[in-house]
Chains A and B, each alone.
Chain A
Amino acid sequence: MAMTIHVDIVSAEGQLYSGQGEMVYAPAVMGEIGIAPRHAPLVTPLKPGEVRIDPGQGKPQEHFYVSGGLIEVQPFRVTVLADTGVRAADLDEAAALEAKRRAEDALATRASEMDLAKAQAELAEAVAQLRAIERLRKQKKT
């Protein structure tokens, strides 16, 4: 039986694949790499592209699209840490700006949801006060 290598493809939102393969192809940033069993330990980022796994024994290849991530290779184990979406420095920057803007908006404008939350908090306080008063009254009666 031919030598195989264990392949795991995981993303933050779950496991995508786990199994044996004779050969793994991955789109590394420096160019596509092919990994056979007993490959030297390697870590490298991935470009968006296709990870292919050759399961051997004449079975058809498995294809996975990854939108980037990292690959970790050890002699008998390959782990693909896949991103769940397309990542790029400027995209991340835009997301950060968006999050900041939302924070500023929420603080500047008295959004209705915020008022609702505030009202709820005040209501909870009032209920607690009422309960305390009731308890005091009962104590007085007895």
Chain B
Amino acid sequence: MAGAKEIRTKISSIKSTQKITSAMEMVAASKMRKAQDRMAASRPYAQKMRQVIGHVALANPEYKHPFMTPREVKRIGYIIVSSDRGLCGGLNTNLFRALVREIRKEREAGREISYCLVGNKALGFFRRVGGNVRAQVTHLGDAPELEALIGPVKVMLDAFVDGEIDEIRLAYNEFVNTMTQRPTIQTLVPLPPGEDAEELKHHWDYIYEPDAQQVLDSLLQRYIESIAYQAVVENGACEMAARMVAMKSATDNAGSLIDELQLVYNKARQAAITQEISEIVSGAAAVS
């Protein structure tokens, strides 16, 4: 009965792994739902802000905020949003691959690159890649808070104002649906011009207290933070969705592995029994 015991041990170890992966799948599913709710909850804020910024920017053409004036791009700062933990399929890898491709192209064009990293995985990866890391934040948890992002985002905005970088880009995973997460890289600063210029043609304006410039300053800073926050929340939902799918396929794979091993085990057992019977029969034949 060669190997039967080993096979049995292997089956039971795979079974316990399967239990873990299926539990992780269920946990990820429920966390994903919560993350999606958070995603929806933070949307009206950014929307409202975009509206007001559109108004203010159009009403005050003489005051151009630095965040709204594009300049020649020589140095680019990337804010890269990744997950803290692994076991979520190719989520981070896909994003990093897209980023590395883009960064290589920008470097060939003679542009300097620096980073602001969110999440452990980005930290580990971009340390290996090399480059100037300006700021980082990790361990945001399942319910990230906006406060945690104020610092890192401010580092990048300050660098932009001081002319150390000419453009800030934001890289994160966009949540399309449970099965699909799309790596996205978008330009954060300078802000693209407002799209809803048409409806604001008619003449009316806000009263600004104390003045338009200050209002615009604090608006823009909060707006950019809220976009970064939205990206973090969305990436969180992606992480959970990707983990759920990865764990589901791991559970399925464990199931088919168990089936295969069970078959091998049964065959080994059968062979041992057959051998035993033939030994007994031939022994009896020799005696009689």
Q: What's the tally of chain B residues with a CB closer than 8 Å to chain A?
A: 52
Write out the residue numbers on chain B whose beta carbons fall within 8 Å of the beta carbon of A44: 208-210, 215
Docked complex Cα distance between A72 and B56 (Å): 11
Q: Are B207 and A14 touching (Cβ within 8 A)?
A: no
**Shortest Cβ distance from A78 into chain B, in angstroms?**
11
Write out the residue numbers on chain B whose beta carbons fall within 8 Å of the beta carbon of A132: none
Contact of A12 among B42, B51, B155, B219 (CB under 8 A): B42
Contact of A102 among B136, B222, B226 (CB under 8 A): B136
Docked complex Cα distance between A102 and B133 (Å): 10
Write out the residue numbers on chain A whose beta carbons fall within 8 Å of the beta carbon of B208: 42-44
Docked complex Cα distance between A46 and B86 (Å): 41
Contact of B135 among A10, A69, A70, A99 (CB under 8 A): A99
Contact of B222 among A15, A81, A97, A113 (CB under 8 A): A81
A 93-142 contacts with B by CB, 8 A: 93-100, 102-103, 106-107, 113-114, 116-118, 120-121
Q: Are B146 and A114 touching (Cβ within 8 A)?
A: no
Closest A residue by C-beta to B118: A99
A 65-97 contacts with B by CB, 8 A: 69-70, 72-73, 79, 81, 83-85, 87, 92-97
Docked complex Cα distance between A87 and B222 (Å): 11
Q: Are B154 and A13 touching (Cβ within 8 A)?
A: no
Q: Does B52 contact A (CB under 8 A)?
A: yes
Write out the residue numbers on chain A whose beta carbons fall within 8 Å of the beta carbon of B44: 8, 10, 15
Write out the residue numbers on chain A whose beta carbons fall within 8 Å of the beta carbon of B209: 28-30, 42-45
Q: Does B125 contact A (CB under 8 A)?
A: yes
Chain A interface mostly helix, strand, loop or mixed?
mixed
Q: Are B48 and A81 touching (Cβ within 8 A)?
A: yes
Q: What's the tally of chain A residues with a CB closer than 8 Å to chain B?
A: 46
Q: Does B147 contact A (CB under 8 A)?
A: yes
Write out the residue numbers on chain B whose beta carbons fall within 8 Å of the beta carbon of A93: 154
Q: Are B41 and A13 touching (Cβ within 8 A)?
A: yes
Q: Are B225 and A12 touching (Cβ within 8 A)?
A: yes
Q: Are A113 and B120 touching (Cβ within 8 A)?
A: yes
Q: Does B246 contact A (CB under 8 A)?
A: no
Q: Does A41 contact B (CB under 8 A)?
A: yes
Q: Are A43 and B135 touching (Cβ within 8 A)?
A: no
Write out the residue numbers on chain A whose beta carbons fall within 8 Å of the beta carbon of B48: 8, 10, 72, 79, 81
**Shortest Cβ distance from B40 into chain A, in angstroms?**
9
Contact of A98 among B46, B151, B204 (CB under 8 A): B151
Q: Are B125 and A117 touching (Cβ within 8 A)?
A: yes
Q: Are A100 and B134 touching (Cβ within 8 A)?
A: yes
Q: Are B127 and A11 touching (Cβ within 8 A)?
A: no
Write out the residue numbers on chain A whose beta carbons fall within 8 Å of the beta carbon of B274: none
Docked complex Cα distance between A94 and B150 (Å): 10
Q: Are A85 and B38 touching (Cβ within 8 A)?
A: no
**Shortest Cβ distance from B22 into chain A, in angstroms?**
23
Write out the residue numbers on chain B whose beta carbons fall within 8 Å of the beta carbon of A95: 147, 150-151, 154
Q: Does A40 contact B (CB under 8 A)?
A: yes
Contact of B151 among A10, A83, A96, A120 (CB under 8 A): A96
Proximity string of chain B (102-139) to chain A, C-beta cutoff 8 Å, 1 when within and 0 when not: 00000000000000110011011101100001111110
A-B pairs with lowest CB-CB distance, top 9: A117-B124, A95-B151, A14-B41, A99-B151, A99-B135, A44-B209, A96-B154, A99-B152, A103-B136
Please list the residues of chain A having a beta carbon within 8 angstroms of any beta carbon in chain B.
8, 10-15, 28-30, 40-45, 69-70, 72-73, 79, 81, 83-85, 87, 92-100, 102-103, 106-107, 113-114, 116-118, 120-121
19 A-B residue pairings within 8 Å (CB atoms): A12-B42, A13-B145, A14-B38, A29-B209, A42-B209, A43-B215, A45-B209, A70-B52, A70-B222, A72-B51, A81-B49, A84-B145, A85-B146, A95-B154, A96-B158, A100-B155, A106-B127, A113-B124, A118-B127
